[in-house]
Amino acid sequence: MNPNAYLQIGLFMGILLLTVKPLGSYMTQIMDGRLPKFSRLLYPLEKAMYRGCGIEATTEMNWQQYAGAMLLFNLLGMIAVYALQRLQGLLPLNPQAFGAVKSDTALNTAVSFVTNTNWQSYAGESTMSYLTQMLGLTVQNFLSAATGLAVAIALIRGFTRHHQSTLGNFWVDVTRSILYLLLPLALLLALLFMSQGVIQNFSAYQPLHPLPTPQHSQVLAMGPVASQEAIKMLGTNGGGFFNANSAHPYENPTPLTNFIQMITIFLIPAALCYTFGQMVGDTRQGWAILAAMSLVFVVMAWAAIGAEQQGNPAFSGVDQSYSALQAGGNMEGKETRFGIIASALFATITTAASCGAVNAMHDSFTPLGGLVPLGLIQLGEVIFGGVGAGLYGMLIMVLLAVFIAGLMIGRTPEYLGKKIEAFEMKMISLSILITPLLILVGTALALLVGKASIFNPGPHGLSEVLYALSSAANNNGSAFAGLAADTPFYNILLAVVMGIGRFGVIILVLAMAGSLARKQRLAVTVGSLPTHGLLFVVLLIGVIIIVGALTYLPTLVLGPVIEQLLMLGHS
C-alpha cells in the first residue's frame, strides 16, 4: 500500500474512535431512561406514543415475551412492506406510474428490509414508487435497526441483572432507539447530504437532451433520496434508492460524502461497545471488544486495498496505454471520483458492518480483493457488524472464547461474574451453526437447481453464489452480481435464508439473555479470567478467525483462491 492508503485508514479510524465515548455514553443514558436535557423535549411525544398504543412502559418482559413482541413487530412490518409493493399502482406519490411489484420479488424485498439485510434483486428507480421507497423501505430501515439495538440492550441486561426473569420492555427499547437516537441523527445526516448534492424531491423524472437529436435523450431519475440515504447508512441497512447504490452521484456525489458515509456505517456499532462497558460497570470490557474489532478490520482493509492496488497481471502485456492505466491497480467497476483506495475501504467497511451499501462493483474486484468482503461476511459480521447485531454476535464469540479458555486452564468459565454453563453453550453452539448451515446448504441447492442464473462459469460463478447466500444469511445485502437473482427460486430461497439467519439467532440470543439474568453474579477473584487485556483480545480474534476459517475454507479454496491462481497463470 502507498502512503495515501495508510492516511485514509488512519484518518477514518481516528475520527471514528473520537465518536465512540460521547455517543456510547449518550446511548447508555437513553436506554436507561436517564434522558439528557436536550432529549427531554421529546419525552412528551414518547409518553403520547405509549398511551396511543396502549403500552405500559413500566411493565417489563421475560425473554419469551420480549421475543414474542419482537417477532410480532417485525411480522407486521413485513406485511406492510409487502402490501405497499403490491398495491403501489393504486397509491399516490407514484409519478412514473409503476405497477405492482411481482409477488416473489415483493416477498423477498419485504423480508430483506425487515431483517436489516436490504438485499435488492430489483432496480429501485424503475420498480418502486416514492411512497413505497419512503413509507415501506425507509421506515423499515429505522425499525429493523431499532430491533437489533433493542436485542443487544436486552442481552447486556442479562449480564447486569441477577436473580431476575425480565430483560426490559421491547416496545420501550425500540421507541427510545428511534426517537432519541436514529431519528435525530438521520435528520442531521440527511441535511448534511443535501448540502453536498444528494437530491431530495418529489418531482417526476426529468428528461435530459445532451445532444439536439431525440435519439440521444435520456431520463434522470428523481426522488426523496437524502432521507433514505441517511438511515440506510446510520442503521447499517444498505439498500439504495437507485440500482447503483452509493456509486450513484445522486446518492454519493463527492469524496466528502463518501467519507461521511463510511464513518456513519460504523458510528453506532463502534459506540455500542462503550455502551456495553458502561452498562456492565467496566468500560475496559467494551474497549477490549472494540480493540478486537478494530485490529481485524484494519488488517482486512489493508488486504483489500493491497489486492486492488496490485491489479491484474494479465493486462501487463495487452498494450502500453491500457497497461499504464493498470499500473495504479484495478480500476474496473470503480468510480473515478473515489478511486481504488476509497472503493476498497468502503467495501471492507460495508461488509464488516452488515450494511451492504456499495460504491463499487464487488464482482469486479480481484479474486483476493473480493475474498476480503466475502470473508468478513462469513465471519458472522461481528467486526463492528450491524446496529445491535454486531455487538450481540461479538458477545457470542466472547462467551465462546471464555469457554475455550476455561477448558484450557481447567476452570469454570465465567464472564462478568456469570457462569457459562450447559444451556448457554447450547445457545452459543446453535447460533454459530445456523448461518453456516444456511450458507452451505443454500449454496449447494442453488448450484443444483439455480444453475441457469449463473452467467460466469468456473470458480467465479461459485463465488457469486456463495457470496449471495453468505450475504443473505448474515443479513448484509451486498452482492457480487453476475447472478440473475430476481427469479422465483432465488427470491424465495434468499427470503427464507434471510429470515432464519436474522430471527433464528435473535431468539437464541434472547433465550441466553434470559438465562444469564436469572443467574447469581459472582464476585471477581484472583482465579477469574481477565477479559479486558491484550491476551484476551488475541484469544478472541483467534476464535473468530478459526471458527470462520474452518467452516468456509473448502468453499473459499474452490472459489476465490483458485480464481487467484488462475489469474496468476497457474493451472
DSSP secondary structure letters along 117-128: ----SS-GGGT-
Report how far residue 325's alpha carbon sits from residue 24's, in angstroms, rounded to the nearest whole number: 44
First-to-last C-alpha distance (Å) of the chain: 28
Cell numbers for 85, please give them.
Answer: 409493493
Report how far residue 450's alpha carbon sits from residue 479's, in angstroms, rounded to the nearest whole number: 16
pLDDT means per 10 residues, the chain with 571 residues, are 90 97 96 87 92 93 97 97 97 95 97 96 94 96 97 96 94 97 97 97 88 72 96 94 95 96 97 96 96 96 94 65 56 92 96 93 93 93 92 96 87 88 95 95 93 88 94 94 90 97 97 95 77 93 88 90 84 55
3-state SS of the chain: helix, strand, coil percent to 5?
Answer: 70, 5, 30
What integer pLDDT is reported at residue 211 of this predicted model? 65
Cell numbers for 251, please give them.
Answer: 446518492
- Report the 3 state secondary structure along 24-80: HHHHHHHHCCCCCHHHHHHHHHHHHHHHHHCCCCCCCCEHHHHHHHHHHHHHHHHHH
Cβ proximity of 417 and 449 under 8 Å: no
What integer pLDDT is reported at residue 322 of this predicted model? 44
Cβ proximity of 374 and 463 under 8 Å: yes
- Look at the pTM and tell me if it is higher than 0.85: yes
Four-residue CA torsion sign, 429, 431, 435, 437: positive
Of residues 121, 103, 99, the one with CA closest to residue 112: 121
Report how far residue 265's alpha carbon sits from residue 350's, in angstroms, rounded to the nearest whole number: 7
What integer pLDDT is reported at residue 523 of this predicted model? 79
DSSP H stretches of helix in 311-421:
320-326, 339-352, 367-378, 389-409
What integer pLDDT is reported at residue 570 of this predicted model? 64
Label residue 418 left, alpha or beta by phi (over 0 means left) and psi (-120 to 50 means alpha).
beta
Report how far residue 426's alpha carbon sits from residue 438's, in angstroms, rounded to the nearest whole number: 18
Residue 214 DSSP class: G
Cell numbers for 450, please give them.
Answer: 439455480
